[in-house]
Structure 1
Amino acid sequence: MSYYTVEGIIRRGLPVLTVTCVMGIIVGQILNTRENSLLSMPAILILIPSLVKIGGDTGSMLGARLSSAFHMGLGDRIYRNPVVHNSVIAASIVGLVSSVSVSILVFIASMLMGFGMPFITLLEISVIAVVIELSVVYSATVGIAFVSHRFGMDPDDTVIPLIASLGDLVGVMGIFTALHLLHIL
């Protein structure tokens, strides 16, 4: 019997997708509780979707690389594994460069729309939020990939959906943490 049957994919995918739906609802509720504060800062409203995507997207890239490594038999150990080490470094560079780029683009967009926020403030929010997000998301990515592989599950079926949703959740929390640390919210 083939591993990739419709029934097998549904049986393995449905629990993961149920968890990701619940995580999405939680993210929406967190944003809803801060609605009035966020509406008073339009530049932050532009920043949120971009920053939230950085962790989920780069974490998914990392998860895909780890999954490929497992399928090729290269990912037996987590410590001192060059596949894990190099993939985390590359994803971190992409994430940090993306956060700086997003800061610049949001600054330009908010200035053009007439509700600018100081660039340094946007940069600080972005960097703090992304460092928090990448730390949590990358740790979870490596952990979920190794646990999935160890228990005979295809990491492709678990890592990417879970990490994309976790990136949303941690990203929003990272933004609010950055706003709190900078005494903005």
Structure 2
Amino acid sequence: MTYYTIKGIIGRGFPILAVTSIIGIIAGQVLNVQLENLVSMPIILILIPALIKVGGDTGSMLGARLSSSFHMGLGSQLHRNPVVRNSVLAGLIVGLTACTFLSIVVWITGIALGIGMPFSKLLPLCLISGTFELIVVFTATIAIAFASHRFGIDPDDTVIPLIATLGDLIGVCGIFVTMYLLGIV
């Protein structure tokens, strides 16, 4: 039981928290660079926090499932692993459903506040940026979980903090890239 000491927990957690802090600062700077665009479209300000949480939260759910499978001895191989396949599929369904629901809620909120955006632009924005975020975050989740397990690090200590923060960065970048592709900017 020496693994769960205060010194051990802090020793394993501090480097991860340092990395997530740096990633969080980078995500904030991406938002800062796009400040003028954000101020001119306040509906996007409503959308960003919820949309970036979709990727981080579903990625964290996937990471928790993978970590549990490793602890039960079920996570031996990445390929042909039903835990990975089913967890990724379920995460994609939940994530894309959440993106669709989010676009509806933000559209209704925008109408109520008088800052609306056409639903024909809001839905593709949510689905495209959400899909991009989910693919990148799920790939990173699987890679971090398997690497942590392989190198003897508890995936519970690494996956969720890294993926939640990485989801923020990828989500913010995905929103702005999608806005550019759709000609919203």
* Superimposed CA distance per residue, residues 48-78 of structure 1 (whole angstroms, 9 cap, x where no aligned partner): 0011000000000000000000000000100
Q: Match for residue 93 of structure 2?
A: 93
The alignment's TM-score, normalised by the length of structure 1, stands at: 0.99
More off after superposition, 1-10 vs 75-84: 1-10
Distance 1:95 1:120 in 2: 20
In the superposition, the TM-score normalised over structure 2's length comes to 0.99
Aligned residue runs from structure 1 range 1-185, under 5 A: 1-185=1-185
Distance 1:10 1:159 in 2: 16
Identity fraction in percent: 62
**Structure 2: 5+ residue stretches without partners:** none
Equivalent-residue separation in structure 2 for 1:143 and 1:41 (angstroms): 36
Distance in structure 2 (CA, Å) of the matches to 1:76 and 1:4? 24
1:63-113 alpha-carbon deviations (Å, 9 max, x no partner): 000000000000010000000000000000000000000000000001000
1:184 to partner: Cα distance: 1.1
Distance in 1 between the 2:125 and 2:4 partners? Answer: 43
Pairwise CA RMSD: 0.6
Aligned partner letter, 2:37: S
Equivalenced residue count is: 185
Post-superposition offset of 1:115? 1.0
